[in-house]
Structure 1
Amino acid sequence: MIDSTTSIVEAAFRHYRSQDREAAFPLYADDFSFTSPQDDHIDKATFFERCFPTADRFKDHRLLHVTPANEELVFVYYEYELETGGKYRNVEAITVRDGLMHEVQVFFGGKV
């Protein structure tokens, strides 16, 4: 189960970076919720409208650690460099249940 949760999360990040919405959309549950310092519990439709199309602002984006905490929770620690300059690191806590991502909580890190 844990291997499949990390695989789902890694696939979601790959599809985001390549902007393959058709491949990404089925990985997210209908009751999906996304929270970050800029978004408060937005739903799946809003996430795909507002957040998903933003990959072009990254010059580089690397997953540093994809770590299962238990059978449903995966922590992702990643580093990215913006096209406008600056390198940053964030952590996401992602809940995967029954093969679908149900919740993402993003914690912004500082400049590297």
Structure 2
Amino acid sequence: MSNRDRAEMIRVLFAAYLTNDRKAVVDAFTDDFRFTSPYDDEIDKPTYFSRCWRVADWIERHELEKILVEGDEAFVAYKCLAKSGKQFRNTEFFGFAGDKIKRIDVYFGASYQDGVFVKQK
């Protein structure tokens, strides 16, 4: 799988989140998928979907600012804009196994409400 294909796979994954296409996301992950964030440490695929999957009707859009792919790894920096006026930036590290996503590590960035910085609690 080429770097371009992996970058496109990431774009498709973000689009699937916005349309609540859970099946597309499930199918994109390996069976031994792992997810880490400031709230989750190496959780498995079933735990990810029970704990982290939620309807994305609160999101207006994602702005994928940068996708850097090198071999079986990628970094994605994006801005998420909520319908409420909240927005935040995150960076995600992707690990691939063949044509599937094996892991995602999320790093949270700053949050804003209607363009004003909001300190996290």
TM-score normalised per structure 2: 0.82
The residue aligned with 2:94 is 94
Amino acid at match of 2:26: F
Q: Secondary structure at 1:52's aligned position in 2?
A: coil
In 2, the alpha carbon distance for the partners of 1:85 and 1:39 equals 26
Give how far 1:54 is off: 4.3
User: CA–CA distance in 2 between the matches of 1:61 and 1:42?
Assistant: 24
Q: Is the contact between residue 88 and residue 109 of structure 1 (CA under 8 Å) also seen in structure 2?
A: yes
Partner SS for 2:8: helix
1:82 aligns with 2:82: yes
Structure 2: gaps (5+ residues)? 113-121
Which one has a bigger Cα radius of gyration? 2
Cα deviation code 1:62-94 (max 9, x no counterpart): 2111111x1111111110123443211000000
* Partner AA of 1:42 in structure 2: I
d(CA) in 2 for partners of 1:102, 1:37: 19
Gaps of 5+ in 1: none
Measure the CA separation in 1 of the matches of 2:58 and 2:50.
16
* Residues 7/60 of structure 1: CA separation in 2 closer, same or farther (3 Å cut): closer
Cα gap change, 1:39 to 1:84, in 2 (>3 Å): farther
Paired AA for residue 74 in structure 2: V
Contact 1:19 1:52 in 2 (8 A): no
Once the two structures are overlaid, the 10-residue window that deviates more, 50-59 or 39-48, is 50-59
Partner Cα distance (1:93, 1:76) in 2: 7
Match of 1:8 in 2: 9
Q: 1:37 matched to which residue of 2?
A: 38
2:66 aligned residue: 65
Tell me if structure 1 keeps the 8 A contact 2:18–2:61. no
Higher relative contact order (CA 8 A, sep 6+): 1
